[in-house]
Amino acid sequence: MVHHHELERKLKALFGEDNVLCEPEDLLVYECDAETLDTALPDLVVLPGSTAEVQAVVRAAAEHGVPVTPRGAGTGLSGGATTVSGGISLVMTRMSRILQIDPLDSIAIVEVGATNLSVSHAALTHGLYFAPDPSSQVASTIGGNIAENAGGPHCLKYGMTTSHVLGLKMVLPDGNIARLGGRTRSQIGLDLLGVVVGSEGTLGIVTEAVLRLIPRAQAVETMLAYFPSVEACGQAVSDIVAEGIIPAAMEMIDKLTLNAVEDYLHMGLNRDAAALLIVELDGPEIEISVHRKIVEQVVAANKSIGLTWATDDAHRARIWKARKASFGALGRIRPNGYVLDGVIPRSKLATAITRINQIGEKHKLIVANVYHAGDGNLHPCVLYHRDNLEEVHRVVTAGREILELCVELGGTLSGEHGIGVEKILAMSLVFTEADLKAMRWLKNSFDPRGLTNPSKVLPTPKSCGESGGRPLSQHQLMTSC
């Protein structure tokens, strides 16, 4: 921790004592996000209440040459909000107002500290909702969703966050305000909106967003099915898509996760199953009734050992609870979990699952598997004790091998959690030096002084073995890159 006394005095004068934190016990809360392998204390935490206040922080920090790292709810899973180079953690959660719901244009205008779910709640009275639904949606903010281009179970059919953002207001690293996009889909000029969504807070601080809302579907059908093997379950997923059906969601959990959920919630899940699959169909009633029959046939053809369809909304919510409680339930097995996010072609699902389990066995680690199966996005969760350094080393090595496997199978490093600091050393698995140089040019043109969320996403020569100013356990443990 470095003391920036003059900056601290200036910010406290502007925002009051309550919104500028510098006591060690306060800073500790912000030392990492939900990726707890990498930790680094910020020097100051500032909670702005308006775009003008964000501008004031960015300008004051620039004057003092201090980095600024934006932060939403801190549910990120790649260390994106971790202040690896120290400086200010700029926490956006006070800016949580829903400024407007316009049912005629089907848009919401919000401050980016609003939680994902609060937007859909606000739109509910108009029969509309915000489609991206990360499992963290109760807590995660629209700003974090935009920065990570977040997905969620229903993004299989409706697309990731980028398909639902029409406009942004952002504070640039020099303190000026840029307005990108607008209230309608616009293709005028360079597509900076497309650049900023998914840029992981490295190009500026987003303060407001215009979001596309969509109407609730006429009918929804939700199925839970059990399979005797993960291979059979994976095959059913491929076969459903091969039938020309794009379900709203197709989610899968393995036996270990299923049993952890059952131990936790006592829902009456079938503990004998090797895999559980949730398929949700939505759309016009007539279409859904046809698709329901096809899904049932495919599931039966893949030797399902039981299936049930939700009979009402309460039953549907119970089915979804089995999936949404997965990561929490795994905490009963080990206190820490390292959640990976690799993507593979859907057709390689069964191979990937077998080989991930082999990696777990090789390193004597417990690996639970949760998948957005429909789009080949894997979430292997390696369970461990954070205080056991030798075990942490094996976790990091296994994580790297899982990423290498995804790339080998024709996939990539991340489906929705981003690169952050966690996967920075793996970027060279998928990008050439020329690719990375082009990305660095873009970053430099927004942020020539490198003060906005530094040491994230793009590896620099110094990333080999370290990650910016503060030592990170994961990177210290990687002996080669």
Considering only residues 42, 48, 67, 70, which one is a binding residue for ligand FAD as defined by CB under 6 A? 70
The answer to the question of residue 42 lying near ligand FAD (CB under 6 A) is no
* 330 touches 381 (CB < 8 A): yes
Considering only residues 87, 167, 201, 380, which one is a binding residue for ligand FAD as defined by CB under 6 A? 201
Choice between 7 and 196, CB closer to ligand FAD: 196
Considering only residues 47, 66, 68, 81, which one is a binding residue for ligand FAD as defined by CB under 6 A? 81
Considering only residues 61, 92, 395, 398, which one is a binding residue for ligand FAD as defined by CB under 6 A? 92
Choice between 120 and 135, CB closer to ligand FAD: 135
Binding mask of the shown chain, residues 379 to 398, with x at each position contacting ligand FAD by CB under 6 A: --------------------
Considering only residues 42, 48, 67, 74, which one is a binding residue for ligand FAD as defined by CB under 6 A? 74
Choice between 153 and 360, CB closer to ligand FAD: 153
DSSP state of 295: H
DSSP state of 370: E
Binding mask of the shown chain, residues 106 to 135, with x at each position contacting ligand FAD by CB under 6 A: ------x---------------------xx
The answer to the question of residue 154 lying near ligand FAD (CB under 6 A) is no
CB of 390 to ligand FAD, least distance (A): 26
**Assigned token pair, 270:** 């079938």
Q: How many CB atoms lie within 10 A of CB 239?
A: 17
Which residues have C-beta within 8 Å of that of residue 440, sequence separation ≥ 6? Answer: 458
| Distance separating alpha carbons of residues 117 and 150, to the nearest angstrom | 13
Element (H, E) at 374: none
The answer to the question of residue 369 lying near ligand FAD (CB under 6 A) is no
Give ∠ CA 456-457-461 in degrees, rounded to 5: 80
The answer to the question of residue 221 lying near ligand FAD (CB under 6 A) is no
Considering only residues 110, 122, 197, 206, which one is a binding residue for ligand FAD as defined by CB under 6 A? 206
Choice between 112 and 232, CB closer to ligand FAD: 112
**Assigned token pair, 90:** 């700029």
Element (H, E) at 220: strand 219-227
Footprint of ligand FAD on residues 241-300 (CB under 6 A)?
none
Query: What DSSP string runs through 25-81?
Result: HHHGGGS--S-TT-----SEEE---SHHHHHHHHHHHHHTT--EEEESSS--SSSTT
The sign of the torsion formed by the CA atoms of 181, 186, 192, 193 equals positive
Which range binds ligand FAD by CB under 6 A, 141-149, 215-223, 240-248, 393-401? 141-149
Give the closest residue to 209 by CA, choosing from 137, 126, 305, 108. Answer: 108
CB of 183 to ligand FAD, least distance (A): 20
Choice between 205 and 224, CB closer to ligand FAD: 205
Q: How many residues bind ligand FAD (CB under 6 A)?
A: 36
Binding mask of the shown chain, residues 171 to 200, with x at each position contacting ligand FAD by CB under 6 A: -----------------------------x
Considering only residues 4, 7, 30, 33, which one is a binding residue for ligand FAD as defined by CB under 6 A? 33
The answer to the question of residue 53 lying near ligand FAD (CB under 6 A) is no
Beta-bridge partners for 20: 46
Considering only residues 42, 86, 143, 360, which one is a binding residue for ligand FAD as defined by CB under 6 A? 143
336: left (phi over 0), alpha (psi -120 to 50) or beta: beta
Side-chain-side CA neighbours of residue 362 (13 Å)? 12
Choice between 67 and 72, CB closer to ligand FAD: 72
Looking at beta carbons, which residue is closest to ligand FAD? 144
Cα separation of the two ends of the chain: 28
Please report how the helices 349-362 and 230-242 are oriented relative to each other, as an axis angle in degrees rounded to 10. Answer: 150
Binding mask of the shown chain, residues 398 to 427, with x at each position contacting ligand FAD by CB under 6 A: ------------------xx----------
Task: Provide the H-helix boundaries in 197-254.
Answer: 230-242
Element (H, E) at 401: helix 389-408
Footprint of ligand FAD on residues 313-352 (CB under 6 A)?
327
Considering only residues 144, 337, 342, 468, which one is a binding residue for ligand FAD as defined by CB under 6 A? 144
| Cα dihedral: 370, 455, 388, 327 (round 10) | -20
Binding residues (CB under 6 A) for ligand FAD: these are: 33-34, 69-77, 80-81, 92, 112, 134-136, 140-141, 143-145, 147-148, 150-152, 200-201, 205-206, 327, 416-417, 453
